[in-house]
Structure 1
Amino acid sequence: MLEVFVNAVLEDRQNNSYIVLLKEKYGQRTLPIWIGENEAFAIALSLEGKKPPRPLTHDLLKLIIDAFQSEVVKVEVVALKMVNESGTYFAKIYIKSEGKVIAIDARPSDSIALALRTGSAIFVDPKVMDENGKVLEGDTNLDEMKRRLRNTKPEEFGDFHLDK
């Protein structure tokens, strides 16, 4: 399994939906997954560190898991299958309870929203990433960015004025 992180949540106006971008933690590829508006909102809230005034569905699920002294070990995006003539991603949530780890079938969007709330790792099956991952234009890794910045002269940045 390849560890990933949520790189962004974007609006796809052409298809009237949203896309969550899962970026390899130790690689260059990004896996786009189309998701619904509610799930996009839930993921974006977590990414921004905001808490809703009342628990959303994923917050409630976390509270229930915590109440039973269980924990989300990890979530995995495990497959892309054809369902009703369109590609549908499948995921699993791994929950540890009473010393046992159980895998629960879930949508990737719900799995990701829950993982962000519990601080759990997110993984993607290598085959899924190989077949559907993309290196996005302008996407560089941190080491490459550091190298470029080290080799850039301050005068090449231009004259910036930051308003307070």
Structure 2
Amino acid sequence: MDFELIPVQFNKILQSQNYTVFILGTEEKQFAIYTSPHVGQNLQIHLAGQMKPRPYTYDLINALFSGLNINLLQVVITDVQDTLYFARLFVEQETDGVRNILEIDARPSDCLTLALENEIPIYCTKEVFEKTVSIEE
């Protein structure tokens, strides 16, 4: 990937019965990514430090990555078409002294959840950042 990347931060995560909204951006511009309500419910449990009754999909992914000695590096929001966003999760694994970096196509909600749970950086391509609709707070 050879794009100019802009670091973005979580500003807020809003939850309703019908959707979850990630508010991301920089000091100059904020934008929203909408996803399903179960994503927000999972994040509420994580942020509150509560025990989950059963492991969730993100717990499975984190356990697999840990067991395979895979480190999460970063999330990059790579495209937006209308209101549909696209993202990539970058991970690394060292095997026999060789460092392999994988770029995984994934839903932004999954990438953002993993980024929040694992405290990894989130980036947005400059092109996507310029196309996003700014929200006022």
Match of 2:85 in 1: 89
Displacement over 4 Å in runs of 4+: none
Task: Describe the superposition over 1:94-138 as per-residue Cα deviations: whole angstroms up to 9, x where unpaired.
Answer: 01012111100001100011111222111111221212142524x
Task: Describe the superposition over 1:61-83 as per-residue Cα deviations: whole angstroms up to 9, x where unpaired.
Answer: 0111010011000011110125x
Asked if 1 retains the 8 angstrom alpha-carbon contact of 2:32 and 2:135, the reply is no
Question: What is the identity percentage for the equivalent residue pairs of Structure 1 and Structure 2?
Answer: 25
Could you tell me which of 19, 22, 28 is aligned with 2:21?
19
Letter in structure 1 aligned against 2:93: S
SS of the equivalent of 2:110 reads helix
In the alignment, the residues of structure 2 paired with residue 65 and residue 48 of structure 1 have an alpha-carbon distance, to the nearest angstrom, of 23
Asked if 2 retains the 8 angstrom alpha-carbon contact of 1:9 and 1:44, the reply is no
Could you tell me which of 9, 12, 35 is aligned with 1:8?
12
| Unaligned segments of structure 1, at least 5 residues | 138-164
Match of 2:62 in 1: 62
User: How many residue pairs are counted as aligned between the two chains?
Assistant: 129
The structure in which a higher percent of residues are strand is 2
In the alignment, the residues of structure 1 paired with residue 111 and residue 131 of structure 2 have an alpha-carbon distance, to the nearest angstrom, of 21
Normalising to structure 1: TM-score of the pair? 0.70
Larger Rg: 1
Match of 2:100 in 1: 100
Normalising to structure 2: TM-score of the pair? 0.82
Aligned-residue Cα RMSD (Å) equals 1.9
In the alignment, the residues of structure 2 paired with residue 7 and residue 101 of structure 1 have an alpha-carbon distance, to the nearest angstrom, of 28
